[in-house]
Chains A and B, each alone.
Chain A
Amino acid sequence: MGLNELTIREASEKLEKGEITSVELTKACLARIKEVDKKIKACLKVCGKEALKEAKEADERRKARKVLRASKRPSEPESSLLGIPYLCKMNIMTKGIETNAASKILEGYIAPFDAAVVKKLKNAGAVLLGKTNMDEFAHGASTENSAYGTTHNPWDLTMVPGGSSGGSAAAVAADMCIFALGTDTGGSIRQPASFCGVVGLKPTYGRASRFGLIAMTSSTDVPGSVTKTIEDTEIVLRIMEGVDKNDSTTVDAPAVKPHPNPLLSKEREQKLNGLKIGLPKEYFISGITKGVTEAINKAIEKFKELGAEFIDVSLPHTKYGIPVYYIITPSEVSSNLARHDGIRYGFSEKDSKNLMEVYTKSRGKGFGSEVKRRIMLGTYALSAGYYDAYYLQAQKVRTKIKEEMDEALEKVDCLLTPSSPHTAFKIGEQSDDPLKMYLEDIFVTGASLAGLPAISVPCGFDDGLPVGMQLIGKRFDEEMLFRVGHNYEKATEWHKKKPVL
């Protein structure tokens, strides 16, 4: 087994025992990227030289810490991410390393600062290996909207990895890194995690800072992680979370408790006796493939064995999730993407007569097809005479969706749904039909609109392709998702399955 296949927990233990170094671990990941990324195309940028430098520093930090500890002097706190190599989605700012959101309009853009979450990972000693592919500006569910080519699903190279964080999900599934960062606005971490057979968390809105994320839909954007296990998800969230003065929507919520807490660990191992899991009937509809239905039903049986009780709940406004999302998202997109105007950064059309032409030509040529479509849709929805009918109505229906999800979660500890109605689809199969692509998000927009934490967990295969189930929790109660997910993981082997490349 290559070092690149390790989980964060395993790698961290080996590093601490001195069995491996971060340099060795980083080299193993870089070698894996070199070996398989020609086929998968998950990475848009690999920064090997910088990564090895960071790995060397992490090794030195660990050595210094051991010396301090031996002399019984106070040392820096434990960090489970010290020396752990990761990949970061292309829409998260990394100082000195290109951040282009997979768009031509930001080609060559070098951020002058790190995103808050990247800075936190850097302080914790994590090693940045490179940047991953995505749908341009995170607009999509397949990575086919990337201006730099499509990423391929490691389980079947003719299939999409999902999106928009498809590069991050494919890279973790193919063991190119120990974990990856993504962003989730309406399913962009959970859906690709389910297509690639890895764990993907969208934290509660407000749990982790959005500072330094290239804004898409500010009212639902969140940074999150793609990992190999639930335990690893928790480790990354504990580093990422917290109030940030640069993001006034971050909330001072109780921190996720550290895992090496004996009490908590014991609770985790207590199976799931007495826990109530809700099954929203509107998420179990016709249109879900037989293979997905079977995998989810088996997962439900497994949870029953572990002691959980299932309760039928109803979320009647679920069907309005997609229409609400595709009014609110384009509206916020049209506003957020106004900054890409060819003046301060990014692509600027030289052949322009005046300022207006700089705007229209730079944006017309720099943005891809789906991005322009969303800007147009949002501009229309917000324009005079249509605002009340579209945007305001969508915001009101959003209230209904949020309220009924909150009410359902008062009766149960979490909700369980499929992450997607089907497994990964063929590259090119639905890229000509924007509306069909929007419907991909059917099971994942609800938690985004309500700002709830949600995680996709591998729960089986259909015809060789991974199936994911989604657990949705109460606001700021990621711990329940970890407890439920961790017990499921301990009782199953799905997360250990690897694609053959």
Chain B
Amino acid sequence: MLSKQDIKHIAKLARLELTDAEIIKYGSQLSDVLSYVEQLREVNVDGVEPTAQVTGLEDILREDVIEDWDKIEREDSLRQAPELEDGQIKVKRVLN
């Protein structure tokens, strides 16, 4: 069973501000899901490799070259940001 402290810690790692009601709700729901997935422990996986992809791919390398981005596309992309200044995205200060 995940404690209130556990949930707060996970929320912090996940960069999520949760309400008190959410902390209680997720505490019990995540515990339910985790106890359900416990059954995976009964599978014997000795010598089994983990699967992260299924089509036998290998790394594909390319030259590290700068490609020009279409000007209109770049402007359209920047326009999605909440605050712009001199063609750059403005963010809040990192330290208080």
Contacts and interface: CB of A to CB of B under 8 A. Distances in A.
A378 B34 CA distance: 11
B43 interface: yes
A372 B55 contact: no
A312 to B, nearest CB: 23
Contact of B92 (A113, A352, A389): A352
A492 interface: no
Contact of B45 (A113, A357, A397): A397
Q: Which of B16, B30, B77, B91 has the most chain A CB atoms inside 10 A of its CB?
A: B16
Given A113-B73, A317-B43, A320-B43, A396 B49 contact: yes
B13 interface: yes
A489 to B, nearest CB: 29
Interface of A is mostly: helix
A423 interface: no
Given A354-B93, A360-B16, A364-B17, A396 B33 contact: no
Interface string A250-286: 0100000000000000000000000000000000000
Contacts of A110: 76, 79-80
A320 B40 contact: yes
Interface string B21-39: 0100010011011101101
A320 B42 CA distance: 10
B81 A249 contact: no
Interface residues of B, number: 50
B37 A355 contact: no
Contact of B16 (A364, A399, A402, A451): A364
A172 interface: no
A438 interface: yes
A359 B94 CA distance: 11
A355 B93 contact: yes
Contacts of A475: 54-55
Contacts of A195: none
Given A343-B81, A402-B51, A434-B29, A376 B11 contact: yes
Interface in A367-387: 367, 369, 372-373, 375-377, 379-380, 383
B54 A402 contact: yes
A383 B14 CA distance: 10
B76 A348 contact: no
B6 to A, nearest CB: 8
A75 interface: no
Contacts, number: 170
A438 B73 CA distance: 38
Given A373-B26, A373-B30, A376-B7, A383 B95 contact: no
B89 interface: yes
A113 B76 CA distance: 9
Contacts of B94: 354-356
A367 B80 CA distance: 18
A451 B56 CA distance: 11
A334 interface: yes
Contact of B13 (A352, A367, A379, A389): A379
A219 B17 contact: no
A214 B81 CA distance: 18
Interface stretch (A3-11, A19-27, A49-57, A323-331): A323-331
Nearest to B96: A354
B50 A326 contact: no
A83 interface: no
A398 B94 CA distance: 41
A398 B50 contact: yes
A30 B24 CA distance: 46
Contact of B51 (A206, A341, A399): A399
Nearest to A343: B91
A323 B13 CA distance: 23
Contact of B17 (A355, A360, A373): A360
Nearest to A439: B36
A393 B54 contact: no
A193 to B, nearest CB: 22
Q: Please provide the 9 A-B residue pairs with the shortest distance between their CB atoms, ordered closest to farther.
A: A451-B54, A364-B17, A395-B50, A345-B80, A112-B76, A348-B82, A396-B45, A360-B17, A323-B37
22 contacts: A112-B80, A205-B54, A206-B55, A248-B60, A323-B36, A341-B15, A344-B77, A348-B82, A355-B91, A355-B92, A363-B17, A372-B26, A373-B30, A376-B11, A380-B30, A393-B40, A398-B50, A399-B49, A400-B48, A402-B51, A435-B36, A451-B54
Given A205-B55, A365-B17, A376-B16, 4 more contacts: A249-B57, A356-B15, A392-B50, A396-B48
